[in-house]
Amino acid sequence: MLLEVKDIHVHYGKIAALKGISVEVNEGEIVTLIGANGAGKTTTLKTISGLRGLTSGSVVFDGQDISKMPGHKRVLAGLGQAPEGRGVFPGMTVHDNLLMGAYTRSGDFDADLAEVYELFPRLAERRTQMGGTMSGGEQQMLAIGRALMAKPKVLLLDEPSMGLAPLMVQQIFSIIEEINRRGTTVLLVEQNAQQALKLAHRAYVLETGKVVKSAPAADLLNDPDVQAAYLGGG
Ligand code: ATP
């Protein structure tokens, strides 16, 4: 197992946002967390990446307990993050944004840059454009491309489809599939349950800070309760 979240409890002040969440991600998988607004999906991801501290429980990555490790060290350890709200550097070119993703490591980045540009031809076309002038979908591509430059073992994605037009959503999802096919494990948080379940191997359904279901994604697509609650009535 590459990533194991064990019974984590997380509080915002006195409010319990996560009440004992456990999630497992095996090497090579795409795992998705779905659930309604406020269910705790983003908080789970933030706890894994080190942006939130936990009250109890643990996060084990690649055999190491990283529960108390600072976020930047988690990136070095191989947890790749494409943050919510994109987080690209607006005053830097696309190219320089991508290079920033590799700042944690040494070596020759040309092959990795070439691979990112191959995955995202749109970024290759616009390599001299400022990050801040890219469209929402393009900035999402840039955020994912930048995360890939760190050569992560696991890519954590927080609602990559948020605010994007349907065609762009399709593109982003098919690129995520390709990234996984090339060997990167993916943990995906999504509001768009239908698309996420089509893409993922396994899924967890979160409700008010707890996991209420976990199963192969294909099974959840056919689950009447999941259809009624998250897939527009099926
Ligand atoms: P969404 O899909 O709407 O982003 P989510 O499933 O990602 O929802 P979280 O963002 O993890 O849910 O929120 C879980 C709970 O924690 C919610 O009740 C939310 O209001 C609360 N919460 C999140 N961030 C904070 C914060 N910074 N301060 C206080 N409460 C917070």
Write the ipTM: 0.92
Q: For ligand 1, atom 3, which residue shows the shortest CA distance?
A: 37
Find residue 215's DSSP bridge partners.
Answer: 203
Check if 101 has its Cβ closer than 6 Å to any atom of ligand 1. Answer: no
Please, which pLDDT band fits residue 234 given cuts at 50, 70 and 90? very low
* CA 47 centroid distance within chain: 12
Q: For ligand 1, atom 31, which residue shows the shortest CA distance?
A: 12
Per-residue pLDDT at 233 exceeds 70: no
**84 against 113, higher pLDDT:** 113
The rounded Å distance from CA 38 to ligand 1 centre is: 5
Q: Which residue has the tokens 């191997």?
A: 201
Per-residue pLDDT at 161 exceeds 60: yes
The rounded Å distance from CA 145 to ligand 1 centre is: 26
Contact 37, 230 (CB under 8 A): no
Compute how many other C-beta atoms are within 10 angstroms of the C-beta atom of residue 153: 16
pLDDT tens digits for range 183-229? 999 999 998 999 999 999 999 999 999 999 999 999 999 999 999 99
Task: State the pLDDT at residue 82.
Answer: 81
pTM, to two decimals: 0.94
The 3-state DSSP class for residue 3 equals strand
- Residue 156: which H helix or E strand, with range? strand 154-158
How far, in Å, CA of 207 to CA of 88, rounded? 31
Read off the tokens for 52: 């939130």
Q: For ligand 1, atom 25, which residue shows the shortest CA distance?
A: 12
In angstroms, what is the C-alpha Rg of the chain? Answer: 17
How far, in Å, CA of 158 to CA of 33, rounded? 10
Please, which pLDDT band fits residue 85 given cuts at 50, 70 and 90? low
Contact 164, 107 (CB under 8 A): no
Contact 151, 163 (CB under 8 A): no
Check if 229 has its Cβ closer than 6 Å to any atom of ligand 1. Answer: no
How far, in Å, CA of 48 to CA of 161, rounded? 20
What is the pLDDT averaged over residues 117-136?
95
Check if 43 has its Cβ closer than 6 Å to any atom of ligand 1. Answer: yes
How far, in Å, CA of 48 to CA of 5, rounded? 8
* Alpha-helix residue ranges (DSSP H) falling in the chain: 41-49, 71-77, 94-100, 110-119, 121-125, 136-148, 166-181, 193-199, 217-221, 224-230
Per-residue pLDDT at 104 exceeds 80: no
Check if 161 has its Cβ closer than 6 Å to any atom of ligand 1. Answer: no
Check if 52 has its Cβ closer than 6 Å to any atom of ligand 1. Answer: no
The rounded Å distance from CA 17 to ligand 1 centre is: 7
Task: State the pLDDT at residue 86.
Answer: 67
